[in-house]
Amino acid sequence: MSTLTKQDTFSPLLEAATDNFNEQRTLGKESFLSQGLPAVKEEEYKFTQISRKLEKEISDFQSAKPIELTKELVDQSIYEGFEGNVLVFNNGHFIPELSDLPEGVEISSITKKEDLNLGSIAKPEKDTFAALNLASFQDGAFISVPKKTQITAPILLLSFFKANFGQVVQPRIWIESGDFAEVTFIEQSVLLGEEIVFANKVVEIKGGLNTKINYYRLQNEGKQFIEVSNIETDIHQDSQFSAVTISLSGNLVRNNLNLNILGSNSVGNMYGIYLLNGKTHVDNHTNVDHTVPHAESNELYKGILADHSRGVFNGKIFVRQDAQKTNAFQQNNNILLSEDAVINTKPQLEIWADDVKCSHGCTTGQLDEEALFYLQARGIDKMQAKGLLLYAFAGEVLEHIETESFQAYCTNLVQERLGSKF
């Protein structure tokens, strides 16, 4: 329930589209209007005052139009060392002409598909921004990996954003995989121009049996990028899903990552690292829902916060009564480098089964001065010693990236940021 009037400002968006998804869009709109924008005290957005931010920064609640995009710019923007296929998105619109489509995978613009049950995984009633996206998403991609198909090279989802002045981009991606399929996605985004953009993204991932899906994200768009994303996946029997989220810059970033474990003998992994400075605000809200017995989830998020930055971690583990023999592990560790940096961390475990192994822990501290002195006493420069210690703290998250080129690229970025590169 909300009394916020600000949702009215979204009405230009809500009126906009008519296409194959009118029915779902209506559902999304109704859901958005009944939920409204998060109120100041809304529990799920308590530490992330997104409504106030949007009110202040977004002046034009219209969808940003596609911009001029060249093959050259696309090529320049792909991270160094990448080998694989690239899907290009222009202010949310999928651009097949600039993309390099992988063989054996069905890919198309999402608005061209029919009979797609959008909102069935990322349900609009669970999050108001998921509802807003369903009501008014512009475009995005439909990606289907057929049964028994192993896509060995990663697929890069390369998104370009640019607004004329404070506009909204709402991409939506639907990924489905047949049984025994394997695929890795890497999200990279580029913000062009100086204007602030609000991106409201939804990714729905529907796995098959015995599938393996990796979903990696690099968030490094700079201080003019406001983003809310809802990434949700259904994990079926004998499958593995791994997400790694690396957040290095942004204005205000809210990541909702939801794993629904629907089949036994499956594994859901959520790893994240956030290195924040300036006034960057990054909020990772994760939720893993164990509904069946004999499944596992692992979660490790590490943060280093400097300056006036703020981090939020909220990790919910839900173990239903039927989900006996669940193994669920969660860990969130933070280092605060300045007195003005803030972290709000909240593990949230709800366990209804009685034969499970669940653990969680969160720590927040400063850099270990004794360790720093030890390194200095061996002749290592103070700044480098700090970098070495910070990388030692956070670097382990990157080990969970299986794509070598992406791991190397991110390691490099992280080390550069931490001053631990020699």
Partner 1 sequence: MLSIKNLHASIEGTPILRGINLEVKAGEVHAIMGPNGSGKSTLASVLAGREEYEVTEGEVTFKGKDLLDLAPEDRAREGVFLAFQYPVEIPGVSSTNFLRTAVNQVREYRGLEPLDAVKFLSLMKEKMKLVEIDQKLLSRALNEGFSGGEKKRNEIFQMAMLEPTLSILDETDSGLDIDALKIVSNGVNQLKSADNATIVVTHYQRLLDYIVPDYVHVLYKGRIVKSGTKELALELEEKGYDWIKEEIDSAATV
Q: What residue ranges bind partner 1 (CB under 8 A)?
A: 368-371, 373-382, 384-385, 388-389, 391-393, 395-396, 422
Closest approach of Cβ 26 to partner 1, in Å? 52
Give the separation between CA 287 and CA 346, rounded to whole angstroms: 12
Give the separation between CA 300 and CA 272, rounded to whole angstroms: 6
Closest approach of Cβ 396 to partner 1, in Å? 7
List Cα–Cα distances, 34 to 27, 29, 95, 131, 417, in angstroms.
11, 8, 34, 10, 42
Closest approach of Cβ 332 to partner 1, in Å? 17
Burial (CB < 10 A; 0-12, 13-18, 19+), residue 348, is middle
- CB nearer partner 1, residue 275 or residue 312: 275
Using an 8 Å Cβ cutoff, are 327 and 297 in contact?
yes
Helix (H) or strand (E) holding 416: helix 404-418
Closest approach of Cβ 369 to partner 1, in Å? 8
* Position 339, amino acid: E
- CB nearer partner 1, residue 55 or residue 396: 396
Closest approach of Cβ 300 to partner 1, in Å? 13
Closest approach of Cβ 201 to partner 1, in Å? 33
- CB nearer partner 1, residue 115 or residue 369: 369
220 closest CA partner among 153, 172, 141, 277: 277
349 closest CA partner among 338, 337, 340, 361: 361
Q: C-alpha 57: how far from its chain's center?
A: 22
Closest approach of Cβ 367 to partner 1, in Å? 12
- CB nearer partner 1, residue 114 or residue 339: 339
Closest approach of Cβ 373 to partner 1, in Å? 6
Enter the tokens of residue 78: 């792909």
Q: How far apart are the first and last CA of the chain?
A: 53
Closest approach of Cβ 3 to partner 1, in Å? 49
**Residue 142's beta-bridge partner residues?**
108, 174
- CB nearer partner 1, residue 231 or residue 388: 388
Secondary structure letter of residue 151 according to DSSP: -
Q: C-alpha 363: how far from its chain's center?
A: 22
Tokens 């972290």 appear where?
Answer: 343
- CB nearer partner 1, residue 355 or residue 379: 379
Closest approach of Cβ 340 to partner 1, in Å? 22
Closest approach of Cβ 390 to partner 1, in Å? 10
Query: Hey, how many other C-beta atoms are within 10 angstroms of the C-beta on 411?
Result: 17
Q: C-alpha 345: how far from its chain's center?
A: 17
- CB nearer partner 1, residue 356 or residue 371: 371
Enter the tokens of residue 11: 């009405």
Q: C-alpha 356: how far from its chain's center?
A: 28
Residue 15: which residues within 8 A CB-CB, separation 6 or more? none
- CB nearer partner 1, residue 339 or residue 422: 422
- CB nearer partner 1, residue 109 or residue 411: 411
- CB nearer partner 1, residue 354 or residue 370: 370
- CB nearer partner 1, residue 125 or residue 396: 396
SS3 269: strand
289 closest CA partner among 205, 251, 233, 230: 233
416 closest CA partner among 312, 289, 277: 277
